[in-house]
């Protein structure tokens, strides 16, 4: 964490100085906003937290509840989400309070006595080391609290506006083309309506989304006609794996997915209630908590479950539904106008809860759209950037639903219906990378280059998330993870993995540094003249030498930018290899040097040789100024024919 560059800080360094719209921020919801986010669920809160880092963007997030969420239904936090929390500065704290999943136990009927269950297998949760971060279980409400804290400490001093219900919107013309009707749900104005004008609206208002309805989108899919009772409970039991994640299949035909919760005592059970008659008309939802507990005891035989307290419970039927678009642009209008209204999370994709994907995928929806809105509204990028949101995230949601259909079907099978007794655990191990959140791979577009030079950095696949690795920071000799210093500040990352030569010797790395610092075709040329050199682009260098062999004074100045009002030198962008874990070896990086470009949402956008400066300039040209933007028709179909005019005009 860096601070003091604006002067001595004696308080909590996580509290950033107020700036822009955060100075004298009005407590009352204003009549006009740049972005109005509807719903304080995971997608909405992450989007708001990201936008809170753009001081000149007026973002407000409204919620129909009168206050914070007390008990959340979602609790599974995949490793990809923990990586994201690291960017928002609270990974360590949430790990400390969460339950960490290290393995999963599988229970099946005893072959000698099918009325009894026995443990038949254990599977490691992350045997391949997909991430350095753990798979966690923690209450959704706590995740939202951390994002709320981040927002409150941001330059914009953002906070949710509680007690507002979304009632409808219309998209017109003008500077604030979206007219939103809200209703007060609490307080002295309860029942009254309020009109807000917005440049953009993000609907994060759940599976029954009114924002989705207002733009003519519908969820389409199927119902599995299978019901599950779910409860968060405190109990006394002789079941030995009550503190281990379990998939339990009984001889009686029922199944349980057991997930221990944070705090050492609470656990969640998804209890199989069996097939549901298509003509049930929702009657299964009237299943009582007593019936759920009784069914759980039947499945757990010979073990018993004495439930002492139930914090929350529900009954749901598995359904898989997806919208055909994630914004307000109809298919026939695609390419003729840019979207103004977006939907995220459960508003555009619903599925079972048993793969622990709902909150996780929803947060990545919010991350994806938020930085793009920030860049457009601050004038960094053309509006055409916004069309990539629906194109990128709908594919991810479709893949998720396909995966969840297979997983939830397997969970609902009776033991005798499996061709191979180990099919369930085999599927869990084989597909571990998907539910962990690491199979997302964005296709080539204006934001993602083709993988022409992928062989130079095989460990950083273009379109997939940047997988961190150990390095040593030269200035203070500290070992750390390279990716952990990519904060959610809206900046692009340009990682320069140096050639074998030492700095200051006229090497390929030195020549690249000269180009990116001084060429009018460099993306850095677009940075406002009154901003720090690294305000829009965080350029880091990683040398192949041990840190003791490097002369920090010989390192090119672009890797040591002067920042803040006192123009202090930033020494935290120069790295060496870790002798115990060489990043060049770990990520299969070409020893001749390679440049890896990473988006603000942590996905690899391009891989290039050090000499491909023209290609780097061409990649960023349509992203930095509306003057050089690619035509709308080129945005989502594939790589654009980039202009080479990045220039001093940007």
Instruction: Identify the pLDDT of residue 640.
Output: 31
CA distance 269 to 134: 21
Give the three-state DSSP class for 616.
Answer: helix
Please, what are the averages of pLDDT over each run of 10 residues along the chain (650 residues)? 86 93 95 98 97 98 94 84 96 96 94 94 86 92 97 98 97 97 94 97 95 92 78 97 95 89 95 81 86 96 97 83 92 90 92 65 95 97 95 87 72 72 70 70 96 97 96 97 96 98 97 97 94 96 97 98 95 96 97 98 98 97 65 35 30
pLDDT of residue 341: 98
pTM score, two decimals?
0.91
Kindly write down the DSSP assignment for every residue of 488-549, as one continuous string.
SSS-EEEEEE--SSPTTS--HHHHHHHHHHH-TTSGGGGS-TTS-TTSSEEEEEEESS-GGG
pLDDT of amino acid 353:
57
Eight-state DSSP code of residue 107 = E
Q: Give 584's strand partners.
A: none
Q: Is the peptide bond before 376 cis (omega within 30 degrees of 0)?
A: no
Predicted pLDDT at 450: 97
Give the span between the Cα atoms of 248 and 100, in whole angstroms. Answer: 20
pLDDT given at position 311: 93
Domains in the chain (CATH in brackets) are 30-72+139-219+321-407 (3.50.50.60), 454-634 (3.40.30.20)
Question: What is the pLDDT, as a whole number, of residue 422?
Answer: 73
CB 94 within 8 A of CB 147: no
Calpha distance 400→377 (Å, rounded) = 31
Q: What is the pLDDT of residue 283?
A: 81
3-class state of residue 574 by DSSP: strand
Q: Phi first, then psi: give them for residue 118, nearest 5 degrees.
A: -140, 150
Rounded to 10 deg, the angle between the 42-51 and 140-152 helix axes is 20
> What pLDDT was estimated at residue 414?
73
Provide the pLDDT for residue 432: 65
User: According to the model, what pLDDT value does residue 431 have?
Assistant: 65
CA atoms of 75 and 262, how far apart (whole Å) = 9
Report pLDDT for 637.
Answer: 34
Q: Which two tokens stand for residue 614?
A: 């023209």
Which alpha helices (H) appear in 554-603, and where do they start and end?
A: 583-586
Environment class of residue 116 by beta-carbon count within 10 Å: exposed (0-12), middle (13-18) or buried (19+)? middle
Q: List all residues 6 or more positions away from 602 whose beta carbon is below 8 Å from its beta carbon.
A: 83, 84, 87, 465, 466, 483, 486
Q: What are phi and psi of 15, to 5 degrees?
A: -85, 105
Write b or e for each residue in 369-402: b if 16 or more Cβ atoms lie within 10 A of its Cβ, otherwise e.
bbbbbbbbbbebbbbbbbbbbbbbbbebbeebbe
């Amino acid at each position: 964490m860096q601070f003091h560059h604006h002067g001595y800080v004696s308080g909590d360094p996580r509290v950033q100085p107020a700036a822009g719209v955060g100075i004298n921020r009005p407590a009352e919801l204003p009549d006009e906003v740049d972005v109005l986010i509807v719903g304080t669920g995971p997608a909405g809160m992450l989007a708001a937290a990201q936008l809170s880092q753009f001081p000149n963007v007026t973002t407000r997030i409204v919620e129909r509840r009168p206050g914070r969420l007390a008990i959340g239904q979602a609790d599974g936090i995949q490793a990809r989400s923990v990586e994201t929390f690291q960017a928002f500065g609270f990974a360590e704290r949430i790990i400390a309070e969460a339950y960490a999943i290290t393995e999963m136990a599988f229970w099946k009927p005893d072959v000698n006595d099918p009325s009894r269950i026995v443990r038949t297998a254990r599977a490691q949760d992350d045997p391949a080391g997909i991430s350095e971060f753990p798979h966690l279980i923690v209450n959704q409400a706590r995740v939202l609290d951390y994002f709320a804290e981040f927002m409150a400490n941001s330059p914009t001093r953002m906070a949710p506006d509680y007690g507002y219900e979304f009632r409808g919107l219309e998209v017109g013309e003008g500077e604030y083309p979206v007219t939103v009707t809200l209703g007060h749900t609490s307080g002295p104005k309860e029942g009254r309506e309020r009109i807000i004008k917005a440049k953009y609206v993000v609907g994060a208002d759940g599976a029954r989304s009114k924002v989705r309805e207002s733009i003519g989108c519908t969820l389409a899919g199927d119902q599995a006609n299978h019901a599950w009772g779910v409860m968060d409970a405190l109990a006394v039991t002789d079941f030995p794996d009550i503190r281990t994640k379990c998939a339990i299949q009984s001889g009686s035909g029922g199944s349980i997915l057991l997930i221990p919760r944070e705090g050492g005592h609470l656990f969640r059970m998804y209890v199989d209630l069996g097939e549901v008659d298509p003509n049930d008309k929702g009657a299964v939802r009237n299943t009582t908590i007593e019936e759920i507990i009784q069914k759980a005891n039947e499945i757990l035989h010979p073990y018993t479950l004495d439930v002492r307290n139930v914090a929350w419970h529900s009954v749901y039927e598995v359904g898989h539904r997806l919208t055909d678009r994630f914004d307000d642009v109809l298919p026939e209008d695609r390419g003729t106008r840019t979207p103004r209204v977006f939907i995220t999370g459960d508003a555009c994709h619903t599925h079972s809860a048993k793969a622990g994907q709902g909150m996780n995928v929803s947060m990545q929806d919010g991350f994806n759209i938020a930085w793009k809105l920030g860049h457009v509204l601050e004038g960094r990028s053309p509006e055409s950037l916004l069309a990539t949101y629906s194109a990128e995230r709908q594919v991810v949601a479709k893949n998720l639903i396909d995966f969840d259909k297979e997983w939830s079907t397997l969970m609902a099978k009776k033991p005798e219906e499996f061709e191979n007794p180990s099919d369930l655990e085999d599927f869990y191990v084989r597909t571990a990378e998907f539910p962990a959140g690491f199979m997302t791979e964005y296709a080539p577009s204006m934001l993602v280059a083709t993988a022409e030079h992928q062989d130079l950095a095989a460990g950083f696949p273009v379109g997939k998330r940047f997988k961190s690795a150990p390095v040593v920071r030269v200035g203070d000799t500290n070992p750390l993870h390279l990716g952990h210093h990519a904060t959610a500040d809206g900046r692009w990352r340009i990682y320069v993995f140096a050639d074998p030569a030492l700095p200051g010797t006229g090497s390929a790395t030195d020549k690249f540094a000269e180009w990116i610092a001084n060429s009018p075709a460099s993306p850095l040329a677009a940075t406002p003249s009154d901003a720090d050199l690294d305000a829009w682009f965080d350029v880091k260098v990683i040398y192949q030498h041990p840190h003791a062999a490097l002369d920090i004074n010989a390192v090119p100045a672009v890797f040591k930018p002067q920042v803040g009002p006192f123009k202090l030198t930033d020494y935290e962008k120069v790295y060496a290899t870790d002798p115990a874990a060489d990043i060049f070896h770990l990520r299969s990086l070409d020893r001749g040097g390679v440049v890896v470009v990473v988006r603000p949402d942590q996905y690899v956008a391009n891989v290039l040789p050090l000499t491909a400066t023209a290609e780097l300039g061409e990649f960023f040209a349509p992203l930095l100024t509306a003057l050089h933007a690619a035509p709308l028709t080129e945005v989502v179909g594939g790589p654009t024919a980039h202009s080479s005019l990045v220039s001093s005009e940007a």
